[in-house]
Structure 1
Amino acid sequence: MQCVRSLALLLLLVVKVHGDFVEPPQSHTSMRSLAESQTRLPCRYQPVEGEKVVQVTWYKELADGSKDQIITAHFSEGHTGFGRYSGRVKFESSSPTENSALLIPSTEESDEGIYICHISTSTHRHFERHITVTVLILPISTLDPVILKEGDSYRLAATCRAVGRPPPRLSWDSDLPGHSKKDIRQGGSVYSYFFLHPLRSMNGKKLDCLVWHPGLNGSHRISNLLEVQYPPDATITSVSGDWFVGLENAELVCDSGGNPKPQDFTWTRRGGALPDGVSLVGGKLIFGRTLRLNDSGVYECVAKNIAGVGKAEYSVTIAEFSQSKGFTNDQNLLLIVPGSLAAAAVVLVLIIAVLYHPHRNRKLERQLNKKTSRIPVNVNVIVQVKNSKRKQ
């Protein structure tokens, strides 16, 4: 029992004599830092009562096991930087013997390694903390898409490339059927290739590259839409379904589709040239005058893009009259005028006969009444003239 108490007392004395590290608590620790960002190397020793830190020195362990002195701070003589670290590093606190944390304001890849914080106390004791620093370089990434054509064989659709430290990991986010192939090269460059068989239904579908790296919070997405070019699928439509003589503003429209959208349209009429008075505006064939009977025919539209050609035909038949509106005003006039003139001539003959043959008045009057009942209202004026003469 007495032995146990003595051992406990000895441990308390050792702790009290040696003091303690506030940070880092472990003798060996590891951390990551990003290139071109600030790195903080923690080191703070809490001495026991009656003891104080008189000097702190930072070292970097070299590959051969030797040490490279970085910076030193003395409680009364200030601090000094050494070699290539002079001006590149600094203590975090204005009282380095109290807070001995070291700052590297702009971290470089060459700063990776093992750092040693060495504490010297007024009791001539020495304590150390070892910190292993891994310098990460955030990836620089690119995606190079390939423009595909319908009908091409199984081929490369996109290449994703990233370079970083450590080498990034790449993956694809897409519902497209295909497969990827990876390639890691010197210098931390990573490539991923995506292959597929191009179809027009794939045009505009998502093919994103995801870049994964320890320095990233999650993944970095490079958005991309697959482009598949395909020939036009031409169709011809008519705004006016009823084509007849005298129709105005008639036009045929060539709906082409395709990728890319075609800009080259050609219109022809089977068996001859296009009628006079028509114009081509994009995919439209516009009649700049009223329609004629000889505008009938089979019209063809040819739409072209870099992927191919699309053709469509449309048969135009010009009717003499509108099927939905009956006769036109001009046609009605041509029918009404001759009929009215003929009716007026008959009435005129009857009036003359009545005036010059009194003994036949009654018979002719009955015939006249029958004739006038068949004549349009505007001819009754003539009948009124005959009646006025009889009264006289």
Structure 2
Amino acid sequence: MTSWLTLSLRLLLSWMYVTRGEFVERPRDDSLRSVAEEETVLPCRFQPTDSVVVQVTWFKQTSDGWEQIITAHRVDGQTAFGTWSGRVRFKSSNPTVDSSLVVLSTEVSDEGRYKCHVNSYPFGTFDQEVTLTVWTIPISSLDAVTVVEGQSYRQAASCRSLARPPPLLSWDTELSGQSVNRSWENGAVTAHYSLHPLRSMNGKKLDCLVWHPTLTGPRRHQNQLVVHFPPDSEVSGYSGDWYVGLERAALSCVSGGNPRPQLFTWARLGEALPEGAIPHPNGTLEFGRPLSLSDGGTYRCVAKNDVGVGAAELQISVTEFPERQTTTTEKTLMVVVGVVAGGLLILMLIIIITVTCHQKKKNKMLTRELTEKKEEISTLSRQASFRRMNSVSTDARGATEESIPLRVDGTLSSLGQGTRLPPHVPTPSPILQSGELLGQTDEGASRSASATVSPRHSSRRSYPPVTHDDDGDEEDDDDDDEVDEGLGGRASREHPDDRESQSSRSQASEAHSAGYRVTNGTVRFKPGTNPTVVSPHASLVHKAQIV
């Protein structure tokens, strides 16, 4: 029964609290973070229901209890207490509506738990607590240590940082070394970097990086390692071209020590410096007069810094006459000539390649055209051969003496003295002048063989009368009708060889008509004629075929 009564009272109080007012804009987990030396706002806003806020008071928890910070009365106004006076204020001009507390400049000591106490009428008081955590921006520094070449393993740089919460420290470097970090309860952290110092490490990067939540990125402290080492001297200014009478001759002592040498000493081994040789503080030995043969020798330069000394020697020779050397102008001219020659060579190569390609292309075109011409000529030649075979006529009435085939049967008798020749034996004089008909097809040969020779065809060949055309040239009347199908027409008849052949055939025909006769298809000598009147080289029958 008692438990049920207690539960009922709690539910009633909860209902009264909800219905009579509540805090809004509460921080998450009742925890806030702030940064030292910045303004901090502690939220507190109470919305009453059927009640009125009369007074608001802020407290901070201490080891002795709750310390009153500031209060605001609806009628009496605001009041800050003790050390908080001047450091805190309410955010709103009407604290009973918005009771948020503003800490103007937050300190590390401000970290702790705070309570916002609200008095309402007629329902009493309401409280809201919040915990404040104060962070500090890191305060860091880097201390560089100067090391000397040859020293033992030692510290080269030290980095320190202080912040809440404690920061993290790291090194950004390419040096071979080791870092040792330490931290303390107050938020201080240190990092020491140690190494074996070498001359090659001088000027190398050795940066310290500070990492902290208050920073958007690492804070970098730039640093370069400083390594001191003795000078490393070298004598320059002489290239083996000193001669008697040379003016403004000088030697320089170059040194790379760290720190830079401040003291230079010149000497000549075995003897004193020549008269007129002036040493300068910057390490230069200048000859204030023209050189002489006595200025030769071994010169020594000594450079000194805080760490040690460095020395260098150089043998100087002075000749009586200057050696001819290639001047800058001559060198430039040689370079220009070389460049021009190279350019011309490249241009020639380009021209040769271009011409070669063009010639190859032209040869290909000529070869292609020649092949086409050969094919065209071959085609025309075959067509002409076909036309010659087809032009042989089987009608003996319209054929000339040249086109009538000669048929010889049996034997030739009564050749002058009645000598009988065996059949198919050629006469002593050549009968065939041309082999054109011998190349004809078998069909043409059979047609020629079937034709018989008549006396009227063995008589002298009658030519058509010569007439003059309109332009004054002599021309055959049958030129327009008669076409040599095998030889291309008029052009073949006008060829000098053709005219000579026609003349020979005409003479042979006359001789044949005078000394021979044909009886029953047999060629016989006429009585009383000499068969040798015909030249053995003359053609008796043109285009004849013996069958």
TM-score, normalised by the number of residues in structure 2: 0.54
Residue 319 (1) aligns with residue 319 (2): yes
Residue 137 (1) aligns with residue 139 (2): no
Inter-CA distance 227–325: structure 2 relative to 1 (3 Å threshold): closer
- Which residue is 2:198 aligned to? 199
Q: Following TM superposition, by how much is the alpha carbon of 1:54 offset from its aligned partner in structure 2, in angstroms? A: 2.1
Deviations 1:42-101 (A, max 9, x none): 1112233x433222111111135x211111112222122223223321111110111111
Conserved in 2, the CA contact under 8 Å of 1:34 and 1:136?
Answer: yes
Conserved in 2, the CA contact under 8 Å of 1:298 and 1:314?
Answer: yes
Inter-CA distance 25–132: structure 2 relative to 1 (3 Å threshold): closer
* Distance in structure 2 (CA, Å) of the matches to 1:71 and 1:204: 58
Q: Following TM superposition, by how much is the alpha carbon of 1:200 offset from its aligned partner in structure 2, in angstroms? A: 1.2
3-state DSSP of counterpart to 1:190: strand
Deviations 1:112-137 (A, max 9, x none): 11001122223424332211112223
* Distance in structure 2 (CA, Å) of the matches to 1:62 and 1:130: 14
Conserved in 2, the CA contact under 8 Å of 1:119 and 1:128?
Answer: yes
Unaligned runs of 5+ in 2: 1-11, 327-547
Q: Following TM superposition, by how much is the alpha carbon of 1:301 offset from its aligned partner in structure 2, in angstroms? A: 0.8
**Aligned residue identity for 2:140:** S
Equivalent residues in 2 for 1:1-392, closer than 5 Å: 17-24=19-26, 26=28, 28-48=29-49, 50-64=50-64, 66-185=65-184, 187-238=186-237, 241-281=240-280, 282-324=282-324
* Distance in structure 2 (CA, Å) of the matches to 1:111 and 1:314: 75
* Distance in structure 2 (CA, Å) of the matches to 1:138 and 1:291: 70
3-state DSSP of counterpart to 2:41: strand
Conserved in 2, the CA contact under 8 Å of 1:231 and 1:308?
Answer: yes
* Distance in structure 1 (CA, Å) of the matches to 2:276 and 2:83: 85
Q: Following TM superposition, by how much is the alpha carbon of 1:11 offset from its aligned partner in structure 2, in angstroms? A: 12
Q: Following TM superposition, by how much is the alpha carbon of 1:239 offset from its aligned partner in structure 2, in angstroms? A: 5.3
Conserved in 2, the CA contact under 8 Å of 1:23 and 1:45?
Answer: no
Q: Following TM superposition, by how much is the alpha carbon of 1:37 offset from its aligned partner in structure 2, in angstroms? A: 2.2
Q: Which has the higher contact order (CA 8 A, sep 6+)?
A: 1
Conserved in 1, the CA contact under 8 Å of 2:262 and 2:305?
Answer: yes
Provide the aligned length of Structure 1 versus Structure 2. Answer: 314
* Distance in structure 1 (CA, Å) of the matches to 2:71 and 2:325: 104
Q: Following TM superposition, by how much is the alpha carbon of 1:316 offset from its aligned partner in structure 2, in angstroms? A: 0.6
* Distance in structure 2 (CA, Å) of the matches to 1:296 and 1:25: 91
Deviations 1:359-382 (A, max 9, x none): xxxxxxxxxxxxxxxxxxxxxxxx
Q: Following TM superposition, by how much is the alpha carbon of 1:29 offset from its aligned partner in structure 2, in angstroms? A: 1.6
Among the aligned pairs, what percent are the same residue? 53
Inter-CA distance 209–25: structure 2 relative to 1 (3 Å threshold): closer
Give the RMSD, CA atoms, in angstroms: 2.3
3-state DSSP of counterpart to 1:17: helix
Q: Which is helix-richer, 1 or 2?
A: 2
Conserved in 2, the CA contact under 8 Å of 1:236 and 1:255?
Answer: yes
Conserved in 2, the CA contact under 8 Å of 1:279 and 1:287?
Answer: yes
* Distance in structure 2 (CA, Å) of the matches to 1:96 and 1:226: 59
Q: Following TM superposition, by how much is the alpha carbon of 1:14 offset from its aligned partner in structure 2, in angstroms? A: 5.9
Q: Following TM superposition, by how much is the alpha carbon of 1:150 offset from its aligned partner in structure 2, in angstroms? A: 1.1
- Which residue is 1:335 aligned to? none
Conserved in 1, the CA contact under 8 Å of 2:240 and 2:316?
Answer: no
* Distance in structure 1 (CA, Å) of the matches to 2:86 and 2:149: 61
Deviations 1:192-246 (A, max 9, x none): 1111111111111111112223333322211111011112221111256410000
**Aligned residue identity for 1:118:** H
Conserved in 2, the CA contact under 8 Å of 1:240 and 1:251?
Answer: no
Conserved in 1, the CA contact under 8 Å of 2:27 and 2:130?
Answer: no
* Distance in structure 2 (CA, Å) of the matches to 1:324 and 1:52: 112
Conserved in 1, the CA contact under 8 Å of 2:51 and 2:123?
Answer: no
Inter-CA distance 132–196: structure 2 relative to 1 (3 Å threshold): same
- Which residue is 2:515 aligned to? none
Inter-CA distance 25–137: structure 2 relative to 1 (3 Å threshold): closer
* Distance in structure 2 (CA, Å) of the matches to 1:241 and 1:52: 107
3-state DSSP of counterpart to 1:110: helix
* Distance in structure 2 (CA, Å) of the matches to 1:193 and 1:245: 62
3-state DSSP of counterpart to 2:109: helix
Q: Following TM superposition, by how much is the alpha carbon of 1:171 offset from its aligned partner in structure 2, in angstroms? A: 1.6
3-state DSSP of counterpart to 1:216: coil
3-state DSSP of counterpart to 2:182: strand
Unaligned runs of 5+ in 1: 1-9, 327-392
Inter-CA distance 98–239: structure 2 relative to 1 (3 Å threshold): farther
